[in-house]
Structure 1
């Protein structure tokens, strides 16, 4: 663990979504960091491409990302793809509405507290999940039950009853479509370090994979209950492979897929994140 006893040179990258959603918090963060750091360079990228260029040209400055979970995940993914994550110490000041991932990692969600942690905090090395398509998971990976697409129908113009009546008059009537079935169980093979935890003959309601400690992930499979309640199946390991029918998965807050096979590997201490001292 490294401590930042002396304020260093910061590159403060303020995500455009943060500027639009909470300009007051952004102003407070800029004031706190400018007053406390030896040197602060503030960048205001307008889109994802400019964000990536600013990050790539950071030089020796420590990047400080001001934004929500999507900005944090974008930064970590960029550094990982550039193979610069191991040599970079990252700070984040959560600003926005989606802050659950940053909070779960131990970052304060208050603007002043998070900015003070940038200046006075300590570096913690955190484990990540990296998949075989170079995707990164900071917190939790979840595979929900299969989702069935709703049938086509005439969309109701919300909030305008008179327009809805007009549409019903002009559009030829057709039988009301049957209600879409609820999410159904998945049939997946889940392997942890090469050992099968659940196979295709056992339908499951969901799978979760979370980095826990010492370079391993905790895997929890929830089988479908038939009669008596089925207990979750749990295992720990460094690699997790899921295969079977096309499935989607949620990596932190992003949904990916469908895929038929994906392997995630724990990268121990891959992320250097500045957190409040003592966390």
Structure 2
């Protein structure tokens, strides 16, 4: 084996409930090849405690992308990523990150990679609130609602204070077939300032359809801004750097599978070779 043959196998509860057969297979393969202590946490707090009490055992996470992200986040906040490598057996419906990292998605192949693979040091994107990104970071356009739409069904405002009218509307909705939902207009562009290593890529006067930050060469990230233009389609703006700052009106962002925000400004910094993951040799 590449590292310690003492394993702590932490099985995420979502994996147990969604695909118990794959969990059983992974557990059997790992237990046959190493001294494995199996932990079955019921929630995020027990999951974190299991990692904190691992001792000298090498942690193996069995779960989906969110379970891996939870484990890396916990070790990062305890400042233990530099001394602890992770192994991962993907089980669940959300495995996009696992595939992008090169982890086998079959239970047997992934468990064997844990036993026979080697640790590879990977970059980590860390923001100024101590959040982490293992794969892609995306800032989409701002969702728009129809003019005058406040979230209430049509006619509901008129019924306020008139119980008889509300009762009639309720009866009509019950008896009549439900009409199709009105189509919402497309998302409106965002106005954001994007800076890469202190150099401005786009400013607030240029509306954008989206921003993406993905891993690039070791130590840097690739940044792409998709501007909105009138007439001909505008070419994307691209840059490469270690530090990315986005600011403007309140915006949300998707870091791996987690939605963050809204925030007015956020800075992400690439930390080279910040964490270790066992991958097939």
| Same fold (TM > 0.5) | yes
1:36 to 23, 30, 33: 33
Q: Which residue of 1 aligns with 2:101?
A: 105
Q: Which residue of 2 aligns with 1:152?
A: 151
The 1:40–1:228 alpha-carbon spacing in structure 2 relative to 1, beyond 3 Å, is: same
Q: Which residue of 1 aligns with 2:215?
A: 211
Q: Which residue of 1 aligns with 2:160?
A: none
Say whether 1:96 aligns with 2:100: no
Q: CA deviation at 1:216?
A: 0.4
Gaps of 5+ in 1: 156-164
Q: CA deviation at 1:112?
A: 0.4
- Counting only pairs closer than 5 Å after superposition, residues 185-196 of structure 1 correspond to structure 2 as 185-196=189-200
Q: Which residue of 2 aligns with 1:158?
A: none
Instruction: Output one character per residue of 1:185-224: Cα deviation in whole Å (capped at 9) or x when no partner.
Output: 0010000000000011110000000121220000000001
- Counting only pairs closer than 5 Å after superposition, residues 14-29 of structure 1 correspond to structure 2 as 14-29=11-26
Say whether 1:199 aligns with 2:203: yes
Say whether 1:82 aligns with 2:86: no
Question: d(CA) in 2 for partners of 1:218 and 1:86?
Answer: 24
Q: TM-score, normalised by structure 2?
A: 0.88
Gaps of 5+ in 2: 155-167, 175-179
Say whether 1:129 aligns with 2:125: yes
Say whether 1:257 aligns with 2:261: yes
Instruction: Output one character per residue of 1:204-252: Cα deviation in whole Å (capped at 9) or x when no partner.
Output: 0000001212200000000013211111000000000000111000000
Q: Any idea what SS the aligned residue of 2:126 has?
A: strand
Say whether 1:167 aligns with 2:164: no
Question: d(CA) in 2 for partners of 1:94 and 1:143?
Answer: 26
Q: CA deviation at 1:6?
A: 6.7
- The root-mean-square deviation of aligned C-alpha atoms, in Å, is 2.2
Instruction: Output one character per residue of 1:87-135: Cα deviation in whole Å (capped at 9) or x when no partner.
Output: 1110000001001111111101000000000000011001010000000
Number of equivalences: 261
1:272 to 268, 273, 276: 276
Q: Any idea what SS the aligned residue of 2:88 has?
A: strand
Question: d(CA) in 2 for partners of 1:44 and 1:255?
Answer: 26
Q: CA deviation at 1:180?
A: 3.7
Q: Which residue of 2 aligns with 1:234?
A: 238
Q: Any idea what SS the aligned residue of 1:213 has?
A: coil
Q: Which residue of 2 aligns with 1:225?
A: 229
| Mapped contact 2:13–2:40 kept (Cα < 8 A) | yes
| Mapped contact 2:2–2:119 kept (Cα < 8 A) | no
Question: d(CA) in 1 for partners of 2:170 and 2:267?
Answer: 48
Q: TM-score, normalised by structure 1?
A: 0.89
1:66 to 41, 62, 78: 62
| Mapped contact 1:128–1:269 kept (Cα < 8 A) | yes
The 1:188–1:24 alpha-carbon spacing in structure 2 relative to 1, beyond 3 Å, is: same
